[in-house]
Amino acid sequence: MKKNALNTKTVSAYKPKKVFISGASGMLGSTMHKIFVDEGIQVISTDLNPLDPWTDYLDVRDRTRVFEQITREKPDVVLNLAALTDLEYCETHIKDSFDTNALGAENVALVCHKLNIPLVHISTAGVFDGTKDTPYTEQDQPNALNVYGRSKYEAEKIIPKILKKYYIFRAGWMMGGAERDKKFVQKILNQIRSGKKIIPVVTDKMGCPTYTADLSRGILKMLGTKKYGLYHMVSEGNCSRFDVANKIIELLEMKDVSIVPATSSDIIISEEYFVPRAGSEVMINQRILDMELRVMRNWEDAIQEYLLEEIKPMLAARISRKKE
């Protein structure tokens, strides 16, 4: 399969000239910045904790500052990636979670309404409770199990009340961003770096990986449709955490490391990971498929590109620095 294969039947050649990104220093934001700049798009990057010289400070909870910065830049599109995503932190910091994930989204939506420009907002499969036997579609009713999911769903309810020109994209298990990666792939790699040779990984948590590069390109392509609304945007296919861990070991040829199957009840991590998580976060990009579009690859193709083109060179560079 060719990279980023897409049926462009109903996609126009539209491409924004200038975009404004909040939360640009994270996994998705750093990937999106590179991809959009490579496409010739001017990117205004902002973040609560700027990590790059081209990124300015912005706290989306500060309505006045949000209005000032976006109004000054006058972008064609605003992409709100700013979010608190650590489930344990959100559960113990409820106000901060809702202020960032819901009120922050409201602040950005309000200025987009004022300027009459589209908003792209990133949501999550975490709005679902995982009790459905088949993949979740955009028509299914959310029922989040934790504060993080509830705060993200609150934003999904707020945005359509303010805007008509909006895209809400629900992503799955995020992977990408190399050194900015804080999710599952990086956690497995960290265990390997710490010297672990046997790593138990759960088989009873199902979901859909979402590669930040594919998501960024998919969003750019969806902007060309001008068909606003709520969409799922995850890699095709689904898998367990165990499947992903095994794929990491296979692709990076770590033959001295074994991934062993476990269940959530086997791994007692109540102190570190005490927040309830859905057994299934499997989604399908139903609305996109109904439009006869294909903007996301299979998860195995995506993780292969990520591991071999981003992670493997990074690991090699680290080994080289240690030898020096």
Looking at the predicted structure, is the pLDDT value of residue 7 above 70? no
Q: What is the mean pLDDT of residues 228-242?
A: 96
Separation of alpha carbons 236 and 83, rounded Å = 25
Res 208: pLDDT: 96
Domain assignment of residue 171, yes or no: yes
Between β-strands 239-240 and 206-207, what pairing exists: parallel, antiparallel or unpaired?
antiparallel
SS3 262: strand
Higher per-residue confidence, 179 vs 66: 66
Percent of the chain whose pLDDT exceeds 70: 91
pLDDT, mean of residues 282-296: 94
Residue 82 resides in a domain: yes
- Select the more confidently predicted residue: 317 or 215: 215
**Cβ neighbourhood burial of 111 (10 Å; 0-12, 13-18, 19+):** buried
pLDDT for 12 equals 64
Burial 277-303, CB ≥16 within 10 A → b, else e: bbbbbbbbbbbbeebebbbbbebbbbb
> Mind giving me the DSSP string for 132-164?
-SS-B-TTSPP--SSHHHHHHHHHHHHHHHH-S
Average pLDDT in the chain: 91
pLDDT for 266: 58
pLDDT above 50 (res 178): yes
The residue count for the chain: 324
Can you give the pLDDT at residue 263? Answer: 79
Summarised one tens digit per residue, pLDDT across range 53-98 is: 999 999 999 999 999 999 999 999 999 999 999 999 999 999 999 9
E-assigned strand segments in the chain: 18-22, 42-47, 55-57, 77-80, 119-124, 166-171, 173-175, 198-202, 206-207, 209-211, 229-232, 239-240, 258-262
Q: Is residue 214 part of a domain?
A: yes
- Calculate the alpha carbon distances from 288 to 22, 116, 153, 224, 310 in Å: 25, 25, 20, 13, 28
Q: Range of 133's domain?
A: 18-180+209-237+281-298
Kindly report the CA angle at 152 between 120 and 147, in degrees rounded to 5? 165
pLDDT at 318 exceeding the cut of 70:
no
175, part of any domain:
yes
Task: Report the pLDDT value the prediction gives residue 6, as an integer from 0 to 100.
Answer: 47
In a domain, 267, yes or no: no
Is the confidence at residue 319, as pLDDT, over 60?
no
Q: Which helix (H) or strand (E) holds 105?
A: helix 104-115
Tell me the mean pLDDT in the region 198-210. Answer: 93
For residue 265, the model assigns a pLDDT of: 60
Domain count, the chain: 1
Longest dimension (CA), the chain: 57
Residue 225 lies in a domain: yes
Confidence (pLDDT) at 215: 97
Which region among 26-30, 59-63, 113-117, 314-318 has the lowest average model confidence (pLDDT)?
Answer: 314-318
pLDDT at 4: 44
312 pLDDT band, cuts 50/70/90, is confident
Q: How many percent of the chain have pLDDT more than 90?
A: 79
12-52 pLDDT tens trace: 668 899 999 999 999 999 999 999 999 999 999 999 999 99
CA 285 to chain centre: 15
Q: Which of 81, 82, 84, 80 is nearest to 97 (CA)?
A: 84
Quick check: 229 and 168 in contact, CB under 8 A? yes
pLDDT computed for residue 310 by the predictor:
87
Give the pLDDT band (50/70/90) at residue 193. Answer: confident
Whether 183 has a pLDDT exceeding 70, the answer reads yes
CATH number at residue 32: 3.40.50.720
* Residue 257: inside a domain: no
Q: What is the pLDDT of residues 148-159, one digit of tens each?
A: 999 999 999 999
- Residue 3 located in a structural domain: no
> Residue 38 and residue 83: Cα distance in Å, rounded?
25
Nearest to 122 by CA among 283, 277, 230: 230
User: Which whole number is the average pLDDT over 163-183?
Assistant: 93
Kindly tell me if the per-residue pLDDT of 181 is higher than 90.
no
